[in-house]
Amino acid sequence: RLVGSEMCIRDRFYRIISYRKKKCNATLKGSAIMIQKYVFGNPIATNAVVTEIKPTQEPLPFFTTDGNGTFTYSLSEEDIVYGLGEQIRGINKRGWQYVSWNYDNPNHHEDTRSLYGSHNFILIRGTKTFGAFFDYAGKMEFDIGYTKRNLMQIKAAKNDLTVYIITGENEKDIVKQFRKIIGKSYIPPLWAFGYGQSRWGYKTEQDIRDVAKQYKDAGVPLDSIYLDIDYMERYKDFTVDETRFPDLKGLAADMREQGIHLVPIIDAGVKIEDGYPVYEEGVQKNYFCKNAEGGDFVGAVWPGRVHFPDFLQPEARDWFGKKYAVLTEMGIDGFWNDMNEPAIFYTEDRLEDTCNKIKELTSGNMGIDEYFTFTGMVAGLNGNIGDYDKFYHNIDGQMVKHSEVHNLYGMNMTRSAFEALQEIRPEQRTLFFSRSSYVGAHRYGGIWQGDNKSWWSHILQSMQQLPALNMAGFLFTGCDTGGFGCDTTEDLMLRWLQYSLFTPLFRNHSADGTRQQELYQFDNFAATGEMIKIRYSLVPYLYSEFLKAALQDSMMFRPLAFDFPEDKMAQQVEDQLLLGNELMIAPIYHQNAQGRYVYLPEEMMLVRMKSHDHYETEILPQGHHYVAAALDELVFFIRNQKAIPFAAPAESTAKTDWNSVQLLGYAGASYELYTDDGISSNPESTLKISTLS
Ligand code: MIG
């Protein structure tokens, strides 16, 4: 039963939202705006902050610094440290050492220190509550009580950085102020909120048609199918393999008729091959990163030997970005940018050194020490940190070593695509998401959370990153549902869907060679299919809350403590999140669990749902509860006296029947629904706000 089903839409109630451009040059003491900028040495511009802020000469508060790039803060026992965006471990980052160094690590786990993105914003809550952003493009360490339990030591590789200190009324206010200075978050087209099927291994047009057909035949909605590197001709960007995809334009059109968008991948490295225009133009125009001798730097990735576009040069960005037109002309309106840390499998000179050393080691009788030297050298070829000292960017005529600006590379690749596409198809939004990022990249696209595994722990890991990513402006995000590497199982997929169906980016993706995990590969397609339909019922809510977060610089996903600051128990909850203003999610992420313990910081309505039209609700009081949930049963919570819009599921987001939207939740509650046309490049131009009651 839908509570409040006689809902009426007090419609055509538009409101103009005005964005006040504030000047941010006030001081920490007592004024409404509390952002201070401290400059150390000669920082390289990162473009993370877009608001003009006058640096202060006052000493840096809270931290002590050694003048050498190290900043120290004493943690009190009750302090919580939030932030760092895409990182491993918990919502509270205390107790580990993290390293901001964008890195391709598909094998990450608790012991890892670096992932695909670097987001150097932290929020300390406790004895003192404030935010700090360490704007630095190179390698940076965050030792948050790792070396010494109650000491936070933050260290930039060089003392050339800008530090922003942000104080405010509370955690949400601090985040809002930070978000204001880094610029508005990217808003994707509405169709990007649908379900997407992906796999590295769809090799032909027929593979794509089969995926579409399987979902269609089962009546399970689908909005996108992803094209991984196999659609290209020998992994060359902006080419299409003519034997395996003889008519991509025709395929895209057929798919679109079924409501499905094709989303091809673009890799950072450009294949070295005579006659390949992208390579030849890049060489001719000096658009590639250089080696120390001034030649074009060579690395090896999927296409074999490649050059890396120098995305830090505006002209190179413009040139590369315009190449996306090759695909948009075929009817493509979404992309994912990969390998842009950039990932490097090996460099030629290191490979040569390694081979020579191996010859030496194997010339005599190889002992155990030699054996380990040998295996270590081979394993150390991929992503070797030393290789990032071997190439250079041209920044305003200066040759800058890559390692000093490493974390900006992926962001500028996405910027290149975003800015060019604004020219190529100015009327409409294009879907973009990137693997690698830095603060500021949130203005140009979303990110996916990189290569994960079909591990139960990676459900939790993804969830714990969401609030930290939101703090840094990344709203359009999600993980490879079902897990990318390793073999998934049906129960893992079901539980994973029950989590991911709440994330803005909702894509099932897996690696070549792993067990196939399209939902029709499992016996219980009926149950997984129902989860997809529930997602489509939730699209109005998710899209509306996304728009609010993007337009108001707020967080869509929040730790419980952000809304219940006085609640000591809420501060410790690491596996539940508030979603928008109305929901709390508490996914199950243990195999064979038939339920879980949930902490309710206030009275809430528990919803158990096996399908969009088969569910039960129950009011639970504030406190701890064991909530049973069968494998095919989604559970979530509606906050006290709130309700959410809930639609009839559609085949695709384009077919969402907004008139079927009803309120689900507490009787008498109303909901403020944000909608727009879902596609115009300026979302505000068609924004509608209506109150549902
Ligand atoms: O080295 O394109 O993260 O999503 O399927 C692996 C193949 C390269 C890494 C991406 C993943 C993608 C894969 N890519």
Residue range 366-402, pLDDT digits in tens: 889 888 988 999 999 999 999 999 999 999 999 999 9
Alpha-carbon distances, residue 467 vs 94, 103, 150, 384, 503 (angstroms): 16, 21, 24, 31, 12
Q: Distance between CA 78 and CA 76 in Å, rounded? A: 6
For ligand 1, atom 5: residue with the closest CA: 200
Measured from the CB, is residue 550 less than 6 Å from ligand 1? no
Contact 175/471 with Cβ under 8 angstroms?
Answer: yes
Give, as one character, the DSSP assignment of residue 626: E
Strands 506-508 and 480-481: parallel
* DSSP class of 324: T
| Ligand 1 atom 3 nearest Cα | 451
Spans in the chain with pLDDT lower than 70: 1-33
Torsion of CA 184, 189, 190, 191, to 10 degrees: -150
**pLDDT score of 365:** 81
Helix (H) or strand (E) holding 197: strand 195-197
pLDDT of residue 364: 82
Closest ligand 1 atom, residue 302 Cα:
1
Report whether residue 338 contacts ligand 1, using a CB cutoff of 6 Å: yes
Quickly list H helices, 436-505.
457-471, 490-500
228 lines ligand 1 (CB under 6 A): yes
Decide the pairing of beta strands 391-395 and 64-65. unpaired
Does 230 contact ligand 1 (Cβ within 6 A)?
A: no
Specify the residue with its C-alpha closest to ligand 1, atom 8.
339
Grouping H, G, I as helix, E, B as strand and the rest as coil, residue 427 is coil
Ligand 1 in reach of 229 Cβ (< 6 A): yes
pTM: 0.95
Ligand 1 center to residue 96 CA distance, Å?
A: 28
pLDDT attached to residue 33: 56
- Output the pLDDT for position 155: 98
Residue with tokens 């290209």: 232
What local confidence, expressed as pLDDT, does residue 361 receive? 86
| 3 state SS of 549 | helix
Amino acid 683: pLDDT = 87
Contact predicate 588/596, CB 8 Å = yes
480 CA closest ligand 1 atom index: 4
